[in-house]
Structure 1
């Protein structure tokens, strides 16, 4: 007996085309209506899986519309009278083809999408991550401990024959072609590494978010649909995505530690002045420090052997945890850091943190004063080339006079002495960032302020800090930060390799 084809259920095709028209018009209410309500609705793409109608709706509301396309082929596989799978082949206006697969269910309110997967042709170059990329962009200059490794260079370091873009197209247009490599880049090349490319940064590195008005937010594959963390955003994403093995960056107020925490990477901010900043575009020279990110602690240490000056090892690693600092993080992050401290026998100690807010304010004042001293001459008359958040910081920086900066430096001198005295020869355990990576589109200023209350300690005292990747109970990346006395970078790298 032959089996008859199952007919397409009534109303399904009309619902499918209504959805497609709404998608092209960015008609958010209709799209919300056509996706099934509840916590079990799914939408997936190359960036990750969204679970629940609310997450899907928030994603659509923040992306600014879907890429323009047309449907060139559809196929319906009927499951039963109330369920069907619709597969559509799409042709994108920008070129290339994609595929959309949707599971539809008939409800009392009509047909609804209960699960969807979207696939599009991958770009030849993800310009959110890279400004310039090669295969490689720069060949190694020698052989050594980094043979076979590839580097994503933050767009603040000089790469011979290229320009420094600093995350701002107007600056890039006027930048000179660099005659030499930055010393950090040169050392990596001499040790056998190749430069994979020049990676995106937040504008002039004056941010912790990773969101760049001009080029977008680099993806965070460890926490899809969440920010990447900045300002070493492109380098971090390149490493997390597997495009490079080493992300060379900088850390002024947390720009290695934050993306490391958000993306589940190992990262180090080096002792201020320990690694060469030659041919590196500064933000705030009193706090700028060379740093890098990797996917494993062994490579993090091997890069340190190349970029750090020789130093005697101190095998003693007495850990100290300050509950008041740990509680500055959100509960899920604090639980991870507190558990790490307990598992590794950290001594718990109460520090007087009454002046911490004053220290942070002084740090941000001096950072801003120096940033305007470095970039203000060029930015005068060009502030409109900046994204709103970075522009606001530079506008505020332009109003800081020398007397105010001098007073802040006085506060920092006392703070530095106090931090060094409290820390001594021990290793401080604290959160690398105050929270997991915020969702794209969320307000970020409060997160920035909370995180800098933690990260400013290393910046104020010029201390080395290593971020170790961990996960919250919800499975999101976070970081445990280890901070030691100046010059103990190699000790921290050894400890990171031991603790993983």
Structure 2
């Protein structure tokens, strides 16, 4: 029996229990009716604040129902002639207790919720972020510049004693335990860092959204209820949420830069071949690179000094921004990057990018051909184990002929020369992604295509690309990408660390 404390105004408890029944049955229409239809209606939770009836309704429609629970106690406190505060304690079916606080207002259509806050215990292990996690999972193997840092390792890297899961349960089930750490993992451990855990990835790293049909979408630590960005989605979420300080991942077509932009992180895609990909499950070897994400530029640079070849550092002095590349982004992101470029003293530089769509298509074809070469033998009879988006890409990849792949390879080589000639000794600023993080449930096909026009440039040319966090006018995370010549990774990291110190 639920205990009710306090004197409830007429009709309030009936409305409260109607809301509870609608919540447990996922009756979206009734839930919408019982929340005030106003632009200032509020609903808050650990994941963030929703403002406005329409935003709240949108969230409910995409979550698939609320956790099952039982109301234990209800406390009612009238706060005026037509307002009342209701606080309810709950017992969750999955275990643990929760708290629900609501402000109700009485009007011509009865009692309506005008503000609500829900508190439930967070799971000890969020399976959207982690495949396996420890305290730590692997302890440091030495002392050095990364003492005390913790690493979320993308589920493509070999971690001794653990299988590589690649974001796909069928692959994980058949995968053997790794006999030794990938060289990059070992280098971080030797420098004092520990491995917090193995973090989720989009299946076989063949996506930019961050979604996974088997494990869900890792939460976006900077923009709740928006996509995390992929395929280094789990490590990015772990870093943004403070579960780890370093996210170790890969970038083939933007898989470091996009999650960095979506979640307000610093992220580096390294020069192709500058950091070994030994012990890393491949996607497309012509483009695969190692990268990492952090919340601070200084730590990003420290990781670079561990993993990158030692060399003298000379931060780029000539910064340029290309108007035709800015125009590929949504207006809010374009404005944010323009503002950043102006503050950084970048000058405008025109570039004839008539061939960019053809370059992007050549990149897509060659990437797909290599992805099928890497995984086609295993996937040929197991495509049904993949989520719809990734399955569609592998099915298309399986149809690419050797002749088409050879043509694409020649086109990529020609484009590489053009891009490297333009970059020269300069640093080119462009959007890291074409938009802010889409809302979970949005159609991301158009966003992916637009973003790939931007991210493919560094991929095709094998260049280092650094994503620096900025914000739009509405306060949403976005990324400024700085691209430089091959081997200038440490120069970019020094530039970011210097500018970050100046901005603080």
Give the Å deviation of 1:224.
0.8
Summarize deviations over 1:330-367 as a string: whole Å, max 9, x none.
Answer: 01110111112222221211111111000001101111
Partner of 2:290: 290
Give 3-state SS (helix, strand or coil) of 2:244's partner. coil
Q: Structure 1: 5+ residue runs without aligned partners?
A: none
What do residues 166-200 of structure 1 show as CA deviations (whole Å, max 9, x unaligned)? 10111100000000000100000000100010001
Equivalent positions of 1:454-493 (< 5 A) are 454-493=454-493
Aligned equivalents of 1:315 and 1:31: distance in 2? 55
Give the conservation status (yes or no) of the 8 Å contact 1:48–1:221.
no
1:38, CA displacement in angstroms?
1.4
Q: 1:129 to 1:316 in 2, by over 3 A?
A: closer
Q: Residue 230 of structure 1 corresponds to which residue in structure 2?
A: 230
Q: Following TM superposition, by how much is the alpha carbon of 1:316 offset from its aligned partner in structure 2, in angstroms? A: 4.1
The alignment yields a C-alpha RMSD, in angstroms, of 1.0
Residues 24 and 286 of structure 1: CA distance in aligned 2, closer, same or farther (over 3 Å): same
The Cα offsets for residues 370-400 of structure 1, whole Å up to 9 and x where unpaired, read as 1111111111111111111111111111111
How many pairs are equivalent? 496
Aligned counterpart, 2:280? 280
Aligned position for 2:138: 138
Conservation of the 8 A alpha-carbon contact between 1:311 and 1:487: no
Q: In the alignment, which residue of structure 1 is the partner of 2:30?
A: 30
Matched position secondary structure for 2:277: coil
Alignment partner, residue 74 of structure 1: 74
Give 1:312 shift. Answer: 3.5
Q: Distance in 1 between matches of 2:443 and 2:486?
A: 34
2:168 pairs with 1:168: yes
Residue 315 of structure 1 deviates from its aligned partner by 4.0
Provide the C-alpha distance between the structure 2 equivalents of 1:395 and 1:106, rounded to a whole number of angstroms. Answer: 56
TM-score, L = length of structure 1: 0.98
1:6 Cα deviation (Å)?
Answer: 7.7
Query: Separation in 2 of the partners of 1:423 and 1:219?
Result: 35
For residues 290-319 of structure 1, what are the alpha-carbon distances to aligned partners after superposition, in whole Å with 9 as ceiling and x for unaligned? 000001001000000000012333344211
1:403-460 Cα distance to aligned partner (Å, 9 max, x none): 1111111111111010011111100000011011111111111111111100000000
Do 2:40 and 2:52's aligned partners in 1 also have CA atoms closer than 8 Å?
yes
Q: Distance in 2 between matches of 1:401 and 1:111?
A: 64
Partner residue, 1:200: 200
Provide the rounded CA distance (Å) in 1 between the counterparts of 2:381 and 2:81.
65
Which residue of the partner structure matches residue 85 of structure 1? 85
Cα distance between partner residues in 1 of 2:469 and 2:249: 18
Tell me if structure 2 keeps the 8 A contact 1:274–1:309: yes
Alignment of 1:116-195 (within 5 A): 116-195=116-195
| Structure 1 match to 2:311 | 311
CA distance in 2, matches of 1:195, 1:283: 23
Using the size of structure 2 for normalisation, the TM-score is: 0.97
- Is 1:341 matched with 2:344? no
CA-CA distance at 1:7 after TM superposition: 3.6
Give the match for residue 16 of structure 2. 16
Name the CA distance, whole Å, in 2 between partners of 1:173 and 1:366: 29
Contact 2:6 2:76 survives alignment (8 Å):
no
Q: Which residue of the partner structure matches residue 61 of structure 1?
A: 61
Deviations 1:222-243 (A, max 9, x none): 1111111110001001111111
What's 1:253 paired with?
253
1:301 pairs with 2:301: yes
CA shift digits 1:32-63 (9 cap, x unpaired): 11110111000010000000011100000001
Query: Partners in 1 of 2:58 and 2:342 — Cα distance?
Result: 37
CA contact (8 A) 1:9 1:81 kept: no
Give 5+ residue unaligned stretches, structure 2. none
Q: Deviations over 1:144-186 (max 9, x none)?
A: 1101101000000000000100101111000000000001000
Indicate conservation of the 8 Å contact 2:256/2:291, yes or no.
Answer: yes
